[in-house]
Chain A
Amino acid sequence: MSSEPQQQRQINIVEDENNALTDYEAALYDRGIRVWGVDAQNRLRRARVLFVGITGLSAEIAKNVALAGVGNITVIDNTIVSENDIGLFINGDQSIGKTRSEAAISAIQELNPLINVRAESIELDAISGEFIKGYTLVCVDSLDSAVQLRINNLCRMDGVSFILTHCFGLQGYFFSDLGNTFKYAIKKKTKVNKNNNNNNNNNNNNNNEEEPEEIEELIECKSSFSSLNDALSVQWSILPNRLSPLYYVLSVLYQYQQGSNKLPSINNVEAINKVLETCYERYNAQTDRHSELLKQCIKQLTGEIAPVCAILGGIVGQEIVKIISKDNEVINNYLFFDGTKCSGVVEQIHPKHNN
């Protein structure tokens, strides 16, 4: 479950050698390349990322991955933009009447003309394995747990990375499922003193200001993830201490939908609260500190505010870059942001395995 680094000399990553970055791309992505390297930049360029549900949050994420140089971005959201919509991809009065995905693609394309941006008009319940297959990563912002689960399962089957994210007012989170075995390599720099293996050289020694040579070593790591269903069905009694109350809220919203087949809404407050009660009973939990946050989140199911979208959108955007470039520690498998405290906490929530 946790990351297990394994020493290994070299890791083989299939590279598309004849498709190097152009000089213009090298200049445009200069700062990114200095942070994550050319290989990662090439992987970003080849990546295909699908956004399901265009919200203020996913618009921020899409902006960030477009700027980073993710080569192919597809969006799905057939909701019509209204006068009261606000956000990154809402281009003033011009966007009113378009679908969200139509409004989004022109805005994303404008951010980075070098990448391919497409809208798909497919209905969410028509998304198939065939459709998902071609993507590197799917990022979902939807409250509908049936949609969440289905896309998560399709992603699992085809080895596509899955991210689910949402914000409620000052609260927000993301969940990631990168499959049973997600492999990545981290670079470890070790300093080697040149003087040690200085056999026949008469120069370059005895200077204390001399920079030791740096050798980069790749260490292959694996990380194993749980499905969304598994992560949301963990017994409350085995959850980590001091876990963000937002997890309990998500768990309740999920279980409510499993039982009722209804989307959570402000009209179902009573029924949702009942689920919370049941959970307390079932899991033998005595606290009631979740009910206040639950009430608040139900009130703000679609209550995004710009600064929280920016913060969570930045975190998720960065995570997507790390997942695609496979050369950094990735978050496994939840991050909870609490804007009342400005805290961002990472948690691992997995069912106990039998083995």
Chain B
Amino acid sequence: MTDNKFQNIIDTLGIDTFEKIRSAKVLVVGAGGIGCELLKNLVLSGFRDIHIIDLDTIDLSNLNRQFLFRKHHIGMSKAKIARESVLKYCNNSDDIKIVAHHADIKTHEFGPNYFKQFNLVMNALDNLSARRHVNRICLSVDIPLIESGTAGFLGQVSVIRKGVTECFECIPKVPPKEFAVCTIRSNPSAPIHCIVWAKMLFGRLFGLADDSNAVTDMDDNIVEGDKDDTDNVIRDELLPLAKQKSYEQWVFHKVFYTDIDRLARMTELWKEKKPPRPLVYDELFSPDGQQTTTTTTTTSNGINSSSGRGLKDQVVMSFQENINMFVESIRKLQVQNEQNGALTWDKDDNLALNFVVSASNIRSHIFNIPLKSKFDIKAMAGNIIPAIATTNAIISGLIVLEAFKVLNNEFDKCKSTYLLKQPSGKRLLLPIDPEKPKSDCYVCSQNFITLKINTKTTTLSQLLNDVLKKNLSFHDPILTVGASLLYEGGDEDLSKEEIEERNKLEQKIIADYKMPDNTILNVEDYLQNFKVSILIIHCETFDEDGKWFDISGKQKDQSTNNNNNHDSNNNNNNNTEDDLDDLEIIENPVDMQIDASSDKSTAKRKEIESETSDSTKKHKLNENNEQ
């Protein structure tokens, strides 16, 4: 019927647009769920000069949606296989060029100069820090960016153009819920607290040495009193004995007896609830290693959520089964640790998962918290927001429709489109006009960040790692105050002595290192081509438990800050960037803070908000999501 395989595109969009598609050079960042679908749509729409980048390799649980991958591709580069597979849809005569990079976008190879060659960048990313990174580079070299994200049935696409639309960072994203250190270490009250603890314990036992990991000190056997007050100190004399017996007995005794005994003695914690009860290894196992049958309190107050039907992993294991699994996984992990060196926790590593499942359930048992199934713990520990093929397909199609408009320079026609789970009103796909750039955005406008922090206790290292890198997504920050250079990262040209010098510097308290109250600190990142001024305000008390600093975009109008604490990012220590495996794991979906458990009401909220055009709408969403 036609003599051109792209005749439909020409008929629909016109020959001018088609010519632009043929000559466009585009970058796709991410080759996971959205990336696979997007690459296919681009190729079938006539794009023929495409770069694709992904650091990740293919996993079995990707195959339900990342349709360019097969079982025999497991373990291989997503970017490379995606390229190879998508080329199958092309004829030999098609003049198509796809360049695949199995690489981290956040490296110097892919800096601003690399980005400059493209007409358009499309993000198909899962993690906040990479999305911020790409946002900043695209703004700095003025290349249009199409942002996207999915979570379960929900998804969103939006176009980011410097000076025209809101950027990815105009609305601060609420970071994932963090827990106060004392809740994790001393006073857990929900399964998630024990799961976070178990992951930290994994890091402590098998990971790299990390001073910030305060989960337990393996050789400390003080159960009451202070080590400086030698007269009144009570020690657990059994711990050194357990250490002599075996590694697993030592660990077991330390974390489920010594540490618990110490907590149980803090009576003020247990005025209103049952104190934790230390577990004695030998009472759970007879001396010959056989397990005893004494434990009657299996699944303690455990709510057995298994319906009798369902997956094996959805059944909550008994307390004794957890004990056995714990001991067994420690033994095996220790061997792995000795053979391969430090381990990193991975939810897809069954042994590492078993450790966290059993350790967290035993701790839950001790603190009278319901036990959880392996299936549920995997999701909680791995921050899994499940991703499905259909949502990715829809979102990737919407990205391409926006791409057509971007290539035509029709930014006035661009939409931010939301995909809902159920129609809201009558709408399943909800297009709204993009917001204007926020004047107080510290990324796309020239503005200050205000950082409230205790300048007398915070070290430079904490400022660098927790505030600038983790929270503000700097990759390699350079710090200056006035004309003096305070800190520069990178170790390419440094001697050993210089590195040591710098490590010492990092331990300095910031008030003692030219950053007292009311300092304007300039932070620059060459890789991101991004510079920002931070006003440091000394502050000793914070309204939220576990919070130790506060960041807000604007400093002029203090009163608004007080009313809108969603404007502030709170982030204390661990596991923000914890699991980036699934393309569709969205720690903080763009603009839309997805609440996967109650999409109906979320949809409603969006419906209402789409009709109020004031800038408060996304703030409402954020607030609602913090629960």
Contact = CB atoms under 8 A, between A and B. Distances in A.
Q: Decide whether A and B assemble into one complex.
A: yes
Interface in A27-70: 27-35, 38-39, 56, 60, 63-64, 67-69
B297 to A, nearest CB: 12
Given A30-B61, A315-B428, 12 more contacts: A17-B309, A27-B60, A33-B311, A38-B309, A83-B91, A92-B87, A302-B1, A307-B398, A310-B40, A311-B401, A329-B422, A342-B401
Given A26-B313, A201-B301, A211-B190, A307 B397 contact: yes
Interface in B381-427: 384, 386-394, 396-402, 415, 417, 422-423, 426-427
Of B87, B88, B183, most A-chain CB atoms within 10 Å:
B88
Contacts of A304: 8
A213 B431 contact: no
A210 B189 contact: yes
Given A64-B389, A203-B301, A311 B397 contact: yes
Contacts of A318: 153, 388, 390-391, 394
B283 to A, nearest CB: 21
7 contacts: A302-B1, A306-B397, A307-B397, A307-B399, A318-B394, A343-B429, A347-B426
A60 B274 contact: no
Interface in B309-327: 309-314
B605 interface: no
A339 B422 CA distance: 19
A313 B8 CA distance: 17
Contact of A343 (B44, B313, B431): B431
A209 B427 contact: no
B429 A344 contact: yes
A204 B5 contact: no
A342 B431 contact: yes
A87 interface: yes
B40 A88 contact: yes
Contacts of A35: 152-153, 386, 388
B311 A21 contact: yes
A341 B12 contact: no
A111 B310 contact: no
A307 B400 contact: yes
Contacts of A90: 89
A355 interface: no
Interface string A312-355: 01110110010000001101000101010111111100000000
A345 B368 contact: no
Interface in B292-315: 301, 303, 309-314
A31 B37 CA distance: 17
A85 to B, nearest CB: 7
A269 to B, nearest CB: 15
Contact of A67 (B274, B379, B389, B597): B389
Contacts of A189: 597
Q: Is the interface of B mostly helix, strand, loop or mixed?
A: mixed
B285 interface: no
A348 to B, nearest CB: 9
Given A39-B309, A307-B398, A209 B44 contact: no
B240 to A, nearest CB: 33
A288 interface: no
B423 A342 contact: no
Interface residues of A, number: 81
Interface string A166-183: 000110000000000000
Contact of B389 (A88, A110, A317): A317
B5 A85 contact: yes
A91 interface: yes
Given A30-B61, A346-B426, A204 B431 contact: no
A305 B301 contact: no
B548 to A, nearest CB: 20
A229 interface: no
A300 interface: yes
Contacts of B3: 84
Given A31-B387, A310-B396, A38 B8 contact: no
A38 B90 CA distance: 38
Interface in A1-24: 15, 17, 21, 23
Contact of B390 (A56, A213, A309, A321): A321
A91 B303 CA distance: 52
Nearest to B190: A211
A84 B8 CA distance: 11
A110 B303 CA distance: 42
A27 B89 contact: no
- Nearest first, the 3 A-B pairs at minimum CB distance are A344-B429, A310-B397, A314-B393
B362 to A, nearest CB: 17
Contacts of B183: 209
A341 B273 contact: no
B389 A311 contact: no
A305 B8 contact: yes
A92 B397 contact: no
Interface in B50-103: 60-61, 63-65, 67, 70-71, 87-92
A317 B392 CA distance: 12
Contact of A34 (B63, B386, B401): B386
Of B90, B393, B402, B422, most A-chain CB atoms within 10 Å:
B393
A26 B311 contact: yes
A249 B70 CA distance: 41
A63 B368 CA distance: 46
A132 to B, nearest CB: 25
A29 B12 contact: no
A89 B378 CA distance: 35
A262 B466 CA distance: 70
Interface string B164-183: 00000000000000000001
Contact of B393 (A84, A305, A311): A311
B190 to A, nearest CB: 5
B401 A315 contact: no
Given A206-B273, A318-B153, A342-B431, A34 B390 contact: no
Given A305-B8, A343-B429, A27 B61 contact: yes
A307 B400 CA distance: 6
Contacts of B313: 26
Of A15, A56, A213, A305, most B-chain CB atoms within 10 Å:
A305
B218 interface: no
B71 A113 contact: yes
B41 A306 contact: yes
